[in-house]
Amino acid sequence: MHDGKTAPMAEHIPDPENPRDYRDALGRFATGVTIVTAQEADGGGPVGITVNSFASVSLDPALVLWSAARSSLRHAHFSGAQAYAIHVLAAGQAGLAARFAKRGQGFDGLEYELNDQGVPLLPNTLARFECLAEARHEGGDHTIIIGRVIRFSARNDGEPLVFAHGQYGRFVPET
C-alpha cells in the first residue's frame, strides 16, 4: 500500500548481466569509508585499497571483517595477507580514498609508518584497527576477510567520511 507521501518502491530481481539497479539500491545504504593496507604478497612494497564493506563481528574476541573484490588487481595481496590495517577515514579525506581506489596513486609520495608486523599505517585517520588474519570465506565475487584486532586507535574529534548514492559526504546528526 502506498501512503502518498513517498514514492513507491519498484521491485527487481538481481541480474548479473545488468547490475546497475542492484548497485543503485545498495547505494541507498550509507557506509563509512576505509582504506585497508598491507604489504604486497610477493614481499614488495606497501599496498592499499579503499573499502566500504567494513563491519564489527565480535567484541570478545575483537574481530572485524571486510570484503575484497576478486576482480581487483590487489585481491591476491589482501586475500593472502597475514596482517593488515583498516583505517577509518574522516570527513574531508575523500582525496585519500581516491588514492587507493581504481587506478589511484596509492602510496606514491605519501608518508606512512610501518607497525611491528610490517603493515603500512596512514597518519591522521579517524580510527585504525591493526589486524592479524583470522579467517577467509568466499562470498560470491568477493572474499570476506575476518581479522583479529591486535591494536586500535581512535581520535576523539572529527566526523566520518560517508559514502552513499555513489558519492562521498559527511554525517550530519539530526537535531
What backbone phi and psi angles, to 5 degrees, belong to 163?
Answer: -125, 125
Distance CA 58, CA 133 (A): 14
Per DSSP, the three-state class of 97 is helix
Distances (CA, A) of 153 to 14, 30, 88, 135: 39, 23, 10, 23
- Give 51's pLDDT tier (boundaries 50, 70, 90): very high
Sheet architecture: strand order including 161-164 = 31-32, 161-164, 167-170
Decide if pLDDT at 24 tops 70.
yes
> What confidence score (pLDDT) does residue 2 get?
57
Instruction: Please give the mean pLDDT across all residues of the chain.
Output: 92
pLDDT tens sequence across 130-172: 999 999 999 999 999 999 999 999 998 999 999 999 899 998 8
166: left (phi over 0), alpha (psi -120 to 50) or beta: left
Distance CA 140, CA 154 (A): 32
> What confidence score (pLDDT) does residue 27 get?
83
Decide if pLDDT at 28 tops 90.
no
Distance CA 118, CA 148 (A): 16
Least confident among 36-45, 91-100, 114-123: 36-45
The residue assigned the cell 560470491 is: 140
- Give 4's pLDDT tier (boundaries 50, 70, 90): low
pTM, whole model, 2 decimals? 0.90
pLDDT tens sequence across 83-111: 999 999 999 999 999 999 988 889 999 99
- Cα 4 to its chain centre, rounded Å, is 37
The CATH number for 31-165, chosen from 3.40.50.720, 2.30.110.10, 3.10.580.10, 2.170.150.20, is: 2.30.110.10
Residue 134 cell numbers, joined = 583470522
124 Cβ contact partners less than 8 Å away, ≥ 6 residues apart: 90
Burial of 137 (0-12, 13-18, 19+ CB in 10 A): exposed
Domain ranges of the chain: 31-165
Mean pLDDT for the stretch of residues 78-87: 95
